[in-house]
Amino acid sequence: MSDPIPHLYCVSNKFDEYQFYIGSLKSIYDSDETTNSIYDIHRFEYYTMMLITEGEGWHYIDYENYFLKKGSLVLISKNQVQKYRRNSKMKGIVILFTDNFLQKNLNHLHLKNHINIFNYHLYNPLLDLEEKNYKDLLKLIERIYFEYEIDHDEMKGKILGTFLNALLLKTERIASHKRISLKQYKYYDKFKEFGNLLEKDLVNNKDAKFYAKAMNISYKHLNEISKTICSKTAKEFISDFLVLEIKRYLSGTNLSVKEISYKLGYDEPTNLQKIFKRETGKTALEFRQMILNN
């Protein structure tokens, strides 16, 4: 599917070199001061970790507002929809990194688990840390920043990768009570396949039975996988996926509801509007106006 949400890129030369960046929340604001594009709905093509160290504020992720305070750790996957809110009273540290950085500098045995904690179908993007965990992660993040500021040498990427690996492992441990069970882990690859097929075929196919057949499993088994991973039937998960795509078009383009309907494979716009109203309680135009007023 075509993407209605603009993709933004980090302007740091160091990021271009390492595919990794660490800096203050203010540095993110300042890097965008000429366009203010981070204050509109956008995507980053890399993973984001943000630890709040002072003050309070809000961050907008996939059409939800999250309240942040000291000790809030935000985990945003690459390509998730988000929007910053300038807030001089809220301070924090932001870490950005790409798949390429992970693959080049981290132990491949840990990659799957590291990526799992950014999976927005499985986890809330916000962790509010207890004081002891906050201090532990902050100490490690400060060490990462110290290393990042050192002049370039051939070991720098590997050292940053080692520290990031430790940070991600500690984050996984903190979030362990929310992590997937052994049964969920067993089904994770199939669920991911389901999501990938949806991304590819949603415009033409919205029937869960189609995806079960494409995955060479029964419809009953696909439902079991979906309910185990996200507590929703395959049909409900498809509806959620579809509604998120509709929201992205409504907020990221000026296309009419009729044009959005055609882009998402509906011959009749009324069908899209019925689904959207049923799932959100709002009409498409009401949602668009809400976004404009936000």
- Reading the chain (294 residues) residue by residue, the pLDDT tens digits are 445 555 555 555 566 677 899 999 888 877 765 455 777 777 777 899 999 999 999 998 888 889 999 999 999 988 788 888 878 889 999 999 988 888 888 766 566 666 778 877 667 789 999 999 999 999 999 999 999 988 777 788 889 989 999 999 899 888 766 555 556 767 878 888 898 899 889 999 999 999 999 999 999 999 999 998 888 999 999 999 899 889 888 887 889 999 999 999 998 999 999 999 999 999 999 998 887 776
Using CA atoms, how far apart are residues 66 and 64, in angstroms rounded to an integer?
6
pLDDT given for residue 223 in this prediction = 95
Residue 176: what pLDDT? 67
Can you give the pLDDT at residue 1? 45
Q: Residue 20: enclosing H or E segment and its boundaries?
A: strand 20-24
Tell which residue, 37, 25, 152, has the closest CA to residue 96: 25
Question: What is the model's pLDDT at position 34?
Answer: 45
Q: List, by residue range, all CATH 2.60.120.280 domains of the chain.
A: 7-178
Quickly tell me which residue has 């590819």 as its tokens. 200
- The number of CA neighbours under 13 Å toward the Cβ of 230 is 24
Residues carrying CATH 1.10.10.60, the chain: 182-293
As assigned by CATH, the class of the 7-178 domain is mainly beta
Q: Give the pLDDT confidence score for residue 118 in this predicted structure.
A: 84
Buried b (16+ CB within 10 A) or exposed e, 185-213: eebbebbeebbeebeeebeebbebeebbe
Residue 102 vs residues 8, 19, 20, 51, 111: alpha-carbon distances, Å: 20, 9, 9, 20, 7
- With both helix axes pointing from N to C terminus, report the angle between 182-201 and 234-252 in degrees, rounded to the nearest 10: 50
CA–CA separation, 257 and 243 (whole Å) = 13
CATH superfamily of this structure's domain 182-293:
Homeodomain-like (1.10.10.60)
